[in-house]
Amino acid sequence: MKVLSAGIALASSQLTYLVERNNKVFNNNVDSSIGMLKEVENPRVGDDEVLIKIGATALNRADTLQRKGSSPPPEGASPYQDLECAGTVESVGKNVTRWTVGDEVCALLSGGGYEEKVVVPAGQVLPVPRGETFLIHGGSSGIGTFSIQIAKHQGARVFVTAGSEEKLTFCKELGADVCINYKTEDFVVRVKEETGGKGVDVILDNVGGPYFQRNLNSLNVNGRLFIIGFQGGTITEANLGCMLARCLNVQAAGRRTRSPENNALIVSEVEKNVWPAIAAGKVKPVVYKSFPLYEAAEAHRLMESSKHIGKILLIP
């Protein structure tokens, strides 16, 4: 196993380290003798430990102090530098139950981040945080502009479809990561390209019938399709085999048929999970235009034209 060992004597003000484990790179602007790669023994995994194959590590000020000899590692720790890492679990001790081989993790270290592999107490290991991938059809609508913001606030990677470059630009400014013009692109193809062929985890759909099969084709394993409208119609023909093969879930959400008790539950969940983000300024309403109540017919015409971005308001 290779490690990076840094020498002690140097002018540290001009020293630059770059440690990126996928390519095993070490750059230094002063003297190539400062650091070198060398072979060492693989670490042994204790009963309560995890062996991590390091994908990347990050520099800490303590690394430079250790290089100078003023911050030695604690007794029993790896003699090599760095205090954190991210990578993949390669082996676990017999008492470890939370982690399994192949898990993508990050960890706090007492040393050893410059190694290709490092042993860590299981309690110092965390899962790599992963947001879901979320496709929003009609990203520039009132629901769409809200969904982009709340999904980004919750850590999702957001995909949107819209019918003009103006609308896509607005969605991008709100935080959307992947913007797809449904008039010029096949969203299924683009989703697969952007997700390495896997598909997205969640789809919010207001089109209905014409998109049903394409939505199923765009979902990842255990993906969820939420239908909230039928702007394209309610009738379709679909091959449902993928639902079993990939364990897909389809759910529709209407409002008018819900009981007062169910509506109260929705309100409670919104207050608990959404209101704090609004209060903190993380999610803001997008208002396209306001009309006096007596111009409701004009407001309807605007909505049916689909030229708006965000919400249309009526003011008594």
Among candidate residues 214, 205, 206, the one with its CA nearest the CA of residue 231: 206
Same domain, 147 and 210: yes
**pLDDT tens string 206-222:** 999 999 999 999 999 99
Same domain, 110 and 205: no
Residue 278 lies in a domain: no
Structure tokens at 216: 């199923």
Residue 222 lies in a domain: yes
Phi, psi values for residue 207, rounded to 5°: -95, -45
Give the domain-ending residue among 127, 156, 189.
127
Query: CA 239 to CA 133: how far, in whole Å?
Result: 24
Return mean pLDDT, the chain: 87
**pLDDT for 18 beyond 60:** no
The whole domain housing 168 covers 133-254
Number of domains in the chain: 3
Residue 306 lies in a domain: yes
pLDDT at 9: 26
Same domain, 195 and 101: no
Residue 293 lies in a domain: yes
Residue 108 lies in a domain: yes
Same domain, 300 and 241: no
Give the domain-ending residue among 254, 276, 308.
254
**pLDDT for 11 beyond 90:** no
Q: Is the dihedral of CA 83, 87, 90, 91 positive or negative?
A: positive
pLDDT at 149: 97
Same domain, 123 and 148: no
**pLDDT tens string 219-242:** 999 999 999 999 999 999 999 999
Highest-pLDDT range among 23-27, 104-108, 111-115, 199-203: 199-203
- Using alpha carbons only, how large is the chain's radius of gyration in Å? 26
**pLDDT tens string 119-136:** 999 999 999 887 899 999
Same domain, 105 and 148: no
**pLDDT tens string 47-92:** 999 999 999 988 888 888 888 888 888 888 888 888 899 999 999 9
Query: CA 152 to CA 12: how far, in whole Å?
Result: 40
Same domain, 291 and 232: no
**pLDDT tens string 245-293:** 999 999 998 878 888 898 899 999 999 999 999 999 999 999 999 999 9
Same domain, 78 and 52: yes
**pLDDT for 142 beyond 50:** yes
Least-confidence region, from 131-145, 171-185, 249-263: 249-263
pLDDT at 62: 84
Query: CA 117 to CA 138: how far, in whole Å?
Result: 46
Residue 271 lies in a domain: no
**pLDDT for 8 beyond 70:** no
Residue 244 lies in a domain: yes
Average pLDDT (160-171) is 97
Same domain, 111 and 141: no
Indicate which CATH number applies to the domain containing 162.
Answer: 3.40.50.720
User: Alpha helices, DSSP H only, in 46-112?
Assistant: 61-68
Each as own residue / partner, the long-range contacts of residues 213-216 (CB below 8 Å, 24 or more positions apart, any chain) are: 213/237, 213/238, 213/239, 214/187, 214/188, 216/240, 216/242, 216/243, 216/248, 216/250
